[in-house]
């Protein structure tokens, strides 16, 4: 199967900071690919490359097997790459419908005027959300009155409706309680079932593991491995996510210090 999106040998430098080094990654249609890694590992930088915000300093981006160059996020969007950033880019005071379309509203034209067909826009937005299981009572309701989970859901429904093939989600559940997070995870699965390739960034193993098919571990700008779920257990993911190796090193260091202190104290006691 051709990956929906692929990076080959991608590096990103910010001055002397090597944010990403020689990254290879493939995401397939109908898969949820979780991107894991500590703070500063390069997760946000990676999705900014995928979504056309940053151009790689080196390496190639492929969409459906074809090499592409994104000059702007618009180029990525036009090729079906939809990104839901943490701040969502929604306008609180505007209605769900306006946020859903953001300038792509259906129009009704009676020459020489064309104007937004509000009724149709409301109906389409309501239906698109119903399609993935979100019941919106009133699409003219301001987005600011929705819960965090509902807002994420609107963003996901929008991406699905406008034909995204790759859906990138940066920490969509991090600010949410259990119930709201479960709702968003459900829509992630809906998007996958429609054949989208989903890239899901999360710090929360309880969110990532149940919905993930594939896990890529980033560490200091490098890809430390990509694993199918069958190849990696929840505990191994936890250990890597929490920096298990680093923690062991810190623990050994602390043990060494304690031993030194104990030796010094027993020396003092003997004098
Ligand atoms: N615009 C920039 N200019 C300079 N350095 C940057 C820039 N963006 C990111 N970096 C650096 O690149 C590295 C990776 O940052 P990035 O934001 O991708 O990490 P992250 O994995 O998303 O972390 P977090 O979990 O904290 O969001 C960090 O060292 C960061 O300081
Ligand atoms: Mg980040």
Tell me the pLDDT tens digit for each residue of 212-230: 999 999 988 999 899 999 9
Could you tell me the distance, in angstroms and rounded to a whole number, from the CA of residue 43 to the centre of ligand 2?
A: 5
Q: What is the mean pLDDT of residues 34-43?
A: 88
Q: Is residue 107 part of a domain?
A: no
> In this structure, what CATH number is given to the domain that contains residue 195?
3.40.50.300
Whose alpha carbon is nearest atom 30 of ligand 1? 40
Instruction: Locate 88 and state its tokens.
Output: 């969502």
Q: Does residue 140 lie within any of the structural domains?
A: no
112 within domain boundaries: no
Looking at the domain assignment, is residue 28 inside a domain? yes
Q: Is the Cβ atom of 192 under 6 angstroms away from ligand 1?
A: no
- Count structural domains, the chain: 1
* Integer Cα distance of 154 and 88 in angstroms: 10
With respect to residue 176, please indicate whether it lies within any of the assigned structural domains: yes
Q: Which atom of ligand 1 lies closest to the CA of 48?
A: 18
Give the residue, by CA position, lying nearest to ligand 1 atom 27. 39
Q: Exposed, middle or buried: residue 240 (CB in 10 Å: 0-12, 13-18, 19+)?
A: buried
Is 243 contained in some domain? no
| Cα 27 → chain centroid | 13
Distance CA 63, CA 230 (A): 26
Report residue 8: phi and psi, to 5°.
Answer: -125, 115
Give pLDDT, residue 31: 96
**Once rounded to an integer, what is the mean pLDDT over residues 184-199?**
91
* pLDDT value of residue 214: 96
Task: Return the residue whose CA atom lies nearest to atom 8 of ligand 1.
Answer: 45
Paired tokens of 16: 């002397």
Q: What is the dihedral of CA 179, 181, 186, 191, to 10 degrees?
A: 160
Domain of 66, in residue numbers = 5-91+151-232
Judge whether 49 lies within some domain.
Answer: yes
Q: Is residue 189 part of a domain?
A: yes
């Amino acid at each position: 199967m051709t990956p929906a999106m692929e990076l080959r040998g991608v590096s990103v430098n910010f001055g002397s900071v090597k944010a990403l080094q020689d990254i290879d990654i493939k995401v397939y249609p109908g898969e949820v690919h979780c991107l894991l890694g500590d703070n500063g590992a390069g997760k946000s930088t990676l999705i900014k490359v995928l979504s056309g915000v940053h151009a790689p300093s080196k390496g190639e981006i492929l969409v459906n097997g074809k090499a592409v160059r994104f000059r702007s996020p618009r180029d990525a969007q036009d090729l079906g790459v939809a990104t839901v950033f943490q701040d969502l880019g929604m306008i609180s005071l505007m209605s769900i419908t306006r946020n859903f379309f953001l300038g792509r509203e259906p129009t009704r034209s009676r020459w020489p005027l064309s104007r937004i067909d509000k009724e149709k826009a409301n109906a389409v937005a309501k239906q698109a959300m119903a399609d993935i299981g979100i019941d919106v009572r009133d699409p003219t309701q301001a987005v600011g009155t929705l819960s965090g989970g509902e807002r994420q859901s609107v963003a996901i429904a929008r991406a699905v409706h406008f034909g995204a093939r790759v859906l990138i989600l940066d920490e969509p559940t991090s600010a949410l309680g259990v119930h709201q997070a479960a709702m968003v995870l459900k829509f992630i699965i809906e998007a996958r079932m429609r054949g989208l390739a989903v890239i899901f960034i999360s710090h929360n193993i309880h969110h990532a593991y149940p919905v993930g098919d594939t896990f890529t571990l980033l560490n200091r700008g490098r890809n430390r491995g990509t694993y199918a779920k069958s190849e990696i257990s929840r505990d191994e993911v936890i250990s890597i996510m929490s920096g298990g190796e680093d923690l062991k090193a810190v623990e050994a260091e602390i043990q060494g210090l304690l031993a030194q202190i104990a030796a010094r104290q027993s020396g003092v006691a003997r004098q």
